[in-house]
Amino acid sequence: MSVPLLKIGVVLSTMAMITNWMSQTLPSLVGLNSTKLSVAPPGVPDRSTGVLPANPEESWQVYSSAQDSEGRCVCTVVAPQQTMCSRDARTKQLRQLLEKVQNMTQSIQNLDQRTQKDLQYVQRMEVQLRGLETKFKQVEESHKQNIAKQYKAIKAKMEELRPMIPVLEEYKADAKLVMQFKEEVKNLTSVLSELQEEIGAFDYEELHNRVSNLEERLRACMQKLACGKLTGISDAITIKTSGSRYGSWMTDPLAPDGDTRVWYMDGYHNNRFVREYKSMADFMYSDNFTSHRLPHPWSGTGQVVYNGSIYFNKFQSNTIIKFDFKTATISKSGQLDYAGFNNRYHYSWGGHSDIDLMVDEGGLWAIYATNQNAGNIVISKLNPATLQIVKSYTTNHPKRSAGEAFMICGTLYVTNGYSGGTKVYYAFHTNSSTYEYIDIPLQNKYSHISMLDYNPRDRALYAWNNGHQVLYNVTLFHVIRSEEL
C-alpha cells in the first residue's frame, strides 16, 4: 500500500470484524476504487494537514484530491493495514472469540432442541415404565393367574423400551455438553467485555455508528470534492471544425440524463440562428441539426444554455434575454445596469464580447465591466428565473486586457490573451472576495480563442478556437481539512 500524498486523518479505533467490513464495503459505497490507492495525482504537493494519528497503522485515513488526471473525482480511504490487523493480538483474539461465541450459540440452540425432544420421549417412557411397575406388582400379587400371558406382555414392553437406553445415554452426554458450553460462553462473555473495555469501551453498536458516521462524512467529502481550485487544464481535443473564426458552442449543464444536445452559435453579431444537434456524436460526425431563430440577434459569444433556455446579450444593448427553446418564447429579459456594451468593455479579442454569461456549480453568472468599476471586471450572480442580480463582486482586473474568463466553483479565472501562448493567470474567489495570480497553461491550438466556458456537468472547458470547437478537461484540487470531516 503506497502512501498517498495528501493526508487527512480520520482517527478511528477499529476492530478486525469492522475493518474487514469497511475495507470491502465502504470504498464501493462511496465510489472508491482500491486501485486508486497507488495513484497519486502528479505534481500535487504534499500538504499534510498534520492531523495524522499517533499510530497510523491503526486508524482510518481519508486522502483526497478533487480529480485525477482524467477529470474524475478521487477520494481515497486507507484502511488500517491488514497485516497490522492480523498482528494485532487483541483484535485477532476478539474476532476468534466472537466467532466462537456465535458458533456456540448455534450449538446450544441445537442441543436444546434435541434435549427437549428427548425429554418428551423420556417422559412418555416414564409413564410406560410406571405402567410396567404396576404390572409387576400385579404379577407378584397373583402369580397364579396367567403368568405366561403376563410375562409375554412385559417382555414386549421391555423390547419397546430398549431403544431408550442409548437415547438416555446420549441425553445425559448432551446435558453435560450443554453445561460445558454454558460455562464456556459465560467465560467468553466476561473475556469479551474485558477486551472491549481494553480496546476503548466500544461496543459493536457504537462501532457500527462510527462506521455509518464515517460513511456519511465520506459522502459529504465526495460532495465537497465536486468543487475545488483549478490546478490544471488538459490538452485540447478538437471536436469539430466548422464555422467562422468567432462563435460559441455548449451543452446544457442541467440537461436531464441522456440529453446530450449540443448548441452552436456561429459569429458574434448579425446572427440569430442557434443550431441544435441531437448529440455530441451528431455534432462531431454529421451536419444534421435543427435551427432555432431567436427574436433578436446576439452580441458577442457569451451566450449560455442553461436548464432548457438560452441566455444571451441582445445586440447593441446590455439587455439579457432568456429564451425558452421548448416554447420558443422569451421567458424573461432584463437590463444589466451599468454594464458596458457595444465594444466598450470587450475581451481583448473584441467582437462585442462585453457581457459574458456562464454557469458553474453555483448557478448563473454575468461577467462584464462598468464605468463605476473603472472598466474592471464585475462579477454578478444572477437569478436564472428573474435575471435579477443576486450579488455583485468588483475585481481589479481590466476587462479589456482579459483574453477570456470562465467560472468554476465560484472562482473566476481569467486568461492573459486570445492568441499565441495562453495561460490562466488571474483568479478571483467570490467566496472570500480575494484574488490571486496563478499560472496555468492553456493550449491555444488554433491561435484564436473567442469563447471559453466551463461546464460543471462535464467538468470541461468548451472553447471556440478559430473555427474549431475544442474541449479541455480540468483538474480541480481540494484539500479536506480534518475539521471539515
**What residue ranges bind ligand NAG (CB under 6 A)?**
33, 35, 70-71, 96, 99-100, 103, 180, 183-184, 187, 229, 234, 237, 254, 278, 286, 288, 307-308, 384, 409, 411, 429, 431-432, 471-473
Minimum distance of ligand NAG from residue 375's CB (angstroms): 25
For residue 125, report the phi and psi dihedrals to the nearest 5 degrees.
Answer: -65, -35
Minimum distance of ligand NAG from residue 429's CB (angstroms): 4
**Hey, what's the cell of 402?**
482579459
Asked if 403 and 414 touch (Cβ cutoff 8 Å), the reply is yes
Minimum distance of ligand NAG from residue 233's CB (angstroms): 9
Minimum distance of ligand NAG from residue 70's CB (angstroms): 3
Residue 79, CA distances (Å) to 15, 49, 51, 203, 227 in order = 12, 18, 16, 20, 25
Minimum distance of ligand NAG from residue 431's CB (angstroms): 4
CA 286 to chain centre: 36
Helix and strand numbers (H, E) in the chain are: 7, 24
Minimum distance of ligand NAG from residue 298's CB (angstroms): 21
Q: Between 400 and 478, whose beta carbon lies closer to ligand NAG?
A: 478
CA gap 77, 323 in Å, rounded:
45
**Hey, what's the cell of 77?**
480511504
Minimum distance of ligand NAG from residue 381's CB (angstroms): 13
CA gap 19, 17 in Å, rounded:
5
Pick from 427, 448, 239: which is nearest to 347 by CA? 448
Q: Across 242-279, where does the E strand assignment appear? A: 247-251, 262-266, 273-277
17: phi > 0 → left, psi -120 to 50 → alpha, else beta; which? alpha
Query: Virtual CA dihedral for 42, 44, 48, 54, nearest 10 degrees?
Result: 0
Q: Between 28 and 142, whose beta carbon lies closer to ligand NAG?
A: 28
Minimum distance of ligand NAG from residue 41's CB (angstroms): 14
Q: Between 102 and 396, whose beta carbon lies closer to ligand NAG?
A: 102
**CB nearest ligand NAG: which residue?**
70
Q: Between 33 and 212, whose beta carbon lies closer to ligand NAG?
A: 33
Pick from 279, 276, 260, 353: which is nearest to 310 by CA? 276
Q: Between 234 and 333, whose beta carbon lies closer to ligand NAG?
A: 234
CA 391 to chain centre: 30
The H or E element spanning position 27 is helix 16-29
**Hey, what's the cell of 105?**
450459540
Minimum distance of ligand NAG from residue 216's CB (angstroms): 21
Q: Sort strands 405-408 and 319-324 into parallel, antiparallel or unpaired.
A: unpaired
**Hey, what's the cell of 302?**
457569451
Q: Between 213 and 238, whose beta carbon lies closer to ligand NAG?
A: 238
Q: Between 207 and 233, whose beta carbon lies closer to ligand NAG?
A: 233
Identity of residue 368: Y
Q: Between 245 and 445, whose beta carbon lies closer to ligand NAG?
A: 445
Q: Between 352 and 478, whose beta carbon lies closer to ligand NAG?
A: 478
Q: Between 7 and 322, whose beta carbon lies closer to ligand NAG?
A: 322
Minimum distance of ligand NAG from residue 150's CB (angstroms): 50
**Hey, what's the cell of 201?**
469501551
Report the residue count for the chain: 485
